[in-house]
Amino acid sequence: SSDSAPAQCPMREANIGGGGTRNRDWWANDLQTTILRQHQPVSNPLGKDFDYAAAFKSLDYEGVKKDLHKLMTDSQEWWPADFGHYGGLFVRMAWHSAGTYRVSDGRGGGGAGQQRFAPLNSWPDNVSLDKARRLLWPIKQKYGDKISWADLMLLTGNVALESMGVKTFGFAGGRPDTWEADESVYWGGETTWLGNDVRYSQGHRGIEGKGVVDSDEHKRDYKDIHTRDLEKPLAAAHMGLIYVNPEGPDGVPDPVAAGRDIRTTFGRMAMNDEETVALIAGGHAFGKTHGAGPSENIGKEPEDAPLEQQGLGWQNKLGRGNGPDTITSGLEVIWTATPNKWSNKYLEYLFKYEWELTKSPAGANQWVAKTNDEFIPDAYDPNKKHKPRMLTTDLALRFDPAFEKISRRYLEHPEELHDAFSRAWFKLLHRDMGPRSRWLGPEIPSEVLIWEDPIPPQTGPVIDDKDVAVLKEKILATGIQSQELITTAWASAASFRGSDKRGGANGARIRLEPQKKWEVNNPQQLAQVLGALEKVQEEFNSSASGGKKVSLADVIVLAGTAAVEKAAGVPVTFTPGRTDASQEQTDIQSFEHLEPVVDGFRNYGHGTSRVKTEQFLLDKANQLNLSIPEMVVLVGGLRVLNANWDGSSHGVFTTTPGKLTPDFFTNLLDMGIAWKATSSDQELYEGTDRKSGQKKWTATRHDLVLGAHAELRAVAEVYAEAGNEEKFKKDFAAAWTKVMDLDRFDVALDSTQA
């Protein structure tokens, strides 16, 4: 059942087909290098040349919408629609698709259709959404590759809202599907579904002024739902939930404590209090919850269900197993008298009635209005009526003082709720899509929103090859050291994260708050370099003919690229056309989430008690969409270019720093050198000549992992081999260009760089 420990794989003993005890079973701490080879052409049935944007442009968008509208009330016998309308179910499907997003690492979200794959397809919170997706199959089949599952699931939620009377803010397509589970996302360390014993640490209030905390007390504080802290980057309160426990924190029916959890969870989804209230009050204007009986009635989740169920899970033994007998969350609530129609009734009832704690038929904590009026319709029996009911988390919108204020305002001004809900819903669905240049379709709103991290469009002619040559010369004549140009360009471009496609060199936000202050960017040095580059830019722009302008964003990247070219002696590709964003276009608080804690490429930062330094390196490489060879060549190349964030010589295994040579690799693999840790936390190392005992190099874990890990070492060997010097330079240049262009969704680049 869904709340038990993960089942032992029944194929453990298989002796073919990938069976047997695996590396991960033997060595739990092995670096998960697989996260750097996900979503490769080999697993994509559409082939590597498939262009989703082009396919989407040929989609009969209005046709899809018409078919979706029809589907809303086309109740199927195998999964009947509550109240004759699938709207609530589809809104929940879209919300759960997008709601896994968390702003601290940008992962999760609906941008890749991951709800189709484990673990999300089998999360206890996603019960019955297997049915929702299967209801959509005829439409997916009809329109084929022109609309991805990722887009279709979210568009369906949007159309569901429209069919129930919401004026939506718009919709953008443009989410290509992935074809396998994304293993790069940390969902928590718990090994039981709905567990939360790893993600919370002791709240601050719990230890204040207490001196020594004995272990029992620690335990109590650890569980204190009023003070506990949720581990980053997580947003959800339990393993296998999208958000918080609907019964209240850890099942305790305390609406105020639930408010605290909601604020944390929705905050980490990038929502403020107003957006949070609007989303919950707007979402629960629709549909119902399902808890017709105890969860013992439902079978295995999709990943563990018998073959004949064909990917569906949670088979229900109660009654007919669907319709009025449906078991999903185990709660049994119908919020309003018009569950298929947009209204303000949710907030009206929330404040009109007092609420009494009761239990669902499945035994879960929920609330019922203290009234004798029974006027809420039944989902199937026209002769049955119910009292209004609410979840503990719904009551939080009234009993949390800050939420209450907002809720009352929305109660008194329904049009404000409508607008706030539409906007927050649009943000929820599009937050992880990256810049507007990726958005597709006829319903893109014209209003530009701050959370898009807007970048002004390129106007006027783009600089040409001749201009680039002139600019390079001027940059190299500024007297700024090459390694400073390189670290600045890297700092600018490597702020990108592939998860939600934020950051990157475009916009030149490195010159703005908060990026210019980040320690990893070496603010003092950065200011000097930017000052010199701004001068180059101004000179060019004041003298260029034909109204040509170069952006600082382009100059920053070009500066690093010119310096790499000089150090390498091979040409390095540069694609101009970036523009500069303003401080007003930059939400400082939101950008703070992009600050790297660790950046192994610049030898910045190190591990924690929970994450090893080299795991951070891998994570960063994953966010930069790098393969293992690209990560290895970049680390080794950046070291000999002397590009450490603080100018230290850790990992600079060369006597000619600043020249692009394979020296990092030849020296790393040199058996004449012996390594030993020089710090008790095993973060710093010293390499000495075995014969003379003389100290030769210093290194961090970021450096030495390239020689210690078998797969990384195999690649390092290639770059240390005789005859591969040119290959090393070319591969470094290509990987460099890839990083510089990670956010160039505005131009069509070579598909290997996309």
- Site residues (CB under 6 A) for ligand HEM? 82, 88-89, 91-92, 95, 128, 243-244, 246, 262, 279-280, 282-284, 286-290, 328-329, 331, 391, 393
Q: 39 an active-site residue?
A: no
Quote the least distance from Cβ 113 to ligand HEM, whole Å.
19
Quote the least distance from Cβ 433 to ligand HEM, whole Å.
18
Q: At what angle do helices 725-740 and 482-493 cross, to 10 degrees?
A: 50
Which CB sits closer to ligand HEM, 284 or 472? 284
Quote the least distance from Cβ 500 to ligand HEM, whole Å.
19
**Sign of the C-alpha dihedral computed for residues 438, 443, 445 and 446 taken in this order:** positive
Dihedral angle over CA of 528, 533, 537, 540, nearest 10: 120
Q: How far apart are CA 650 and CA 182, in angstroms?
A: 33
Residues in the chain: 754
Quote the least distance from Cβ 247 to ligand HEM, whole Å.
9
Token reading at 435: 């810049």
Q: Which residues of 267-297 are buried (b: 16+ CB within 10 A; e: fewer)?
A: bbbbbebbbbbbbbbbbbbbbbbbbbbebeb
Taking the alpha carbons at both ends of the chain, their separation in whole angstroms is 41
Q: How far apart are CA 627 and CA 731, in angstroms?
A: 12
Which CB sits closer to ligand HEM, 168 or 575? 168
Which CB sits closer to ligand HEM, 99 or 203? 99
Quote the least distance from Cβ 441 to ligand HEM, whole Å.
21
Token reading at 27: 């060595």
Q: Provide the CA 437 distance to its chain's centre, in angstroms.
A: 19
Q: How far apart are CA 207 and CA 698, in angstroms?
A: 39
- Sorted by sequence, the CB contacts under 8 Å of residue 365 that are 6+ apart come out as 247, 248, 251, 253, 357, 359, 392
Which CB sits closer to ligand HEM, 278 or 705? 278
Please identify which of the residues 85, 96, 418, 430 carries the catalytic annotation. 96
- Sorted by sequence, the CB contacts under 8 Å of residue 30 that are 6+ apart come out as 23, 24
Which CB sits closer to ligand HEM, 425 or 665? 425
Which CB sits closer to ligand HEM, 414 or 647? 414
Quote the least distance from Cβ 83 to ligand HEM, whole Å.
9
Q: Which residue has the tokens 């690492």?
A: 105
Quote the least distance from Cβ 186 to ligand HEM, whole Å.
22
Alpha helices, DSSP H only, in 480-612?
A: 482-493, 523-543, 552-568, 588-591
Which CB sits closer to ligand HEM, 286 or 601? 286
Q: At what angle do helices 345-352 and 392-399 cross, to 10 degrees?
A: 70
What is the set of active-site residues? 96
